[in-house]
């Protein structure tokens, strides 16, 4: 199987999983949907670290060690990737106010595989295939970078808002203000925008594959969160959408 075909195959898996998750309303058993019915569990914070670590390591190592001559675009993409995953791996887990909370080991191992594959695909393209010299002053670079930065800011701000609601350990609350007045999951919305921006900058099949996977993973997750909020809080705002303002 060629590298391009492998990417299309991985996109196909993402679309199948998306359809299954949405049709059968499957809730991945971590976070607020944690379930002990999925076997062995581990500490939530260390689980997050292990889940994200493969992406942090594989992409930059493969991209920078590959034989293809590196361009400014290569270094930009690696830098953006490392910034995102350094936060996700080494900062975010330890900001969580989830002492003694557990996560199923099967979820951790599944995420390790998922992040490793996406890291390898993106690193391999930059390190072994991409030989084009891209103009960093092209308009699509600025558009993509704007998307990436805006998505990251939205994601971090939403995460901080959700974390702050648990400071007094009073359980889950209805988040209010800012984008939370429009959608239940601005954090997921921001991350999808972020990786769409990355794909616009990279303009290659592996970055597109990861953007598709991000959407296929986070949209069902946001729909589940939205349903959970409505189940738990009778007063949950009726006009609030799940992940895309005014649409979904």
pTM greater than 0.85: yes
HSE-up of residue 162 (Cα within 13 Å, Cβ side): 20
Instruction: Give residue-wise pLDDT tens across range 112-146.
Output: 999 999 999 999 999 999 866 566 667 889 999 99
| Residue that is written with structure tokens 């209010």 in the block | 176
HSE-up of residue 51 (Cα within 13 Å, Cβ side): 20
Instruction: Give residue-wise pLDDT tens across range 141-165.
Output: 999 999 999 999 999 999 999 988 8
């Amino acid at each position: 199987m060629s590298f391009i075909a492998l990417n299309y195959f991985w996109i196909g898996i993402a679309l199948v999983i998306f359809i299954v998750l949405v049709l059968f309303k499957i809730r991945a058993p971590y976070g607020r949907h944690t379930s002990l019915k999925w076997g062995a569990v581990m500490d939530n914070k260390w689980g997050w670290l292990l889940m994200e670590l493969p992406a942090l390591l594989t992409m930059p190592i493969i991209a920078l060690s590959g034989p293809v001559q590196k361009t400014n675009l290569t270094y930009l993409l690696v830098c953006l990737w490392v910034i995102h995953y350094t936060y996700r791996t080494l900062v975010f887990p330890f900001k969580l106010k989830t002492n003694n909370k557990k996560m199923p080991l099967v979820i951790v191992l599944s995420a390790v595989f998922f992040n490793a594959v996406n890291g390898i695909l993106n690193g391999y393209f930059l390190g072994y295939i991409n030989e084009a010299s891209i103009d960093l002053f092209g308009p699509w670079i600025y558009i993509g970078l704007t998307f990436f930065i805006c998505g990251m800011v939205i994601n971090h701000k939403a995460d901080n808002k959700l974390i702050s609601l648990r400071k007094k350990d009073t359980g889950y609350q209805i988040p209010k203000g800012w984008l939370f007045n429009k959608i239940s999951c601005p954090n997921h919305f921001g991350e999808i925008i972020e990786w769409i921006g990355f794909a616009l900058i990279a303009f290659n099949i592996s970055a597109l594959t990861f953007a598709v996977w991000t959407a296929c993973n986070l949209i069902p997750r946001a729909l589940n969160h939205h349903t959970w909020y409505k189940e738990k809080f009778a007063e949950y705002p009726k006009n609030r959408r799940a992940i895309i303002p005014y649409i979904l």
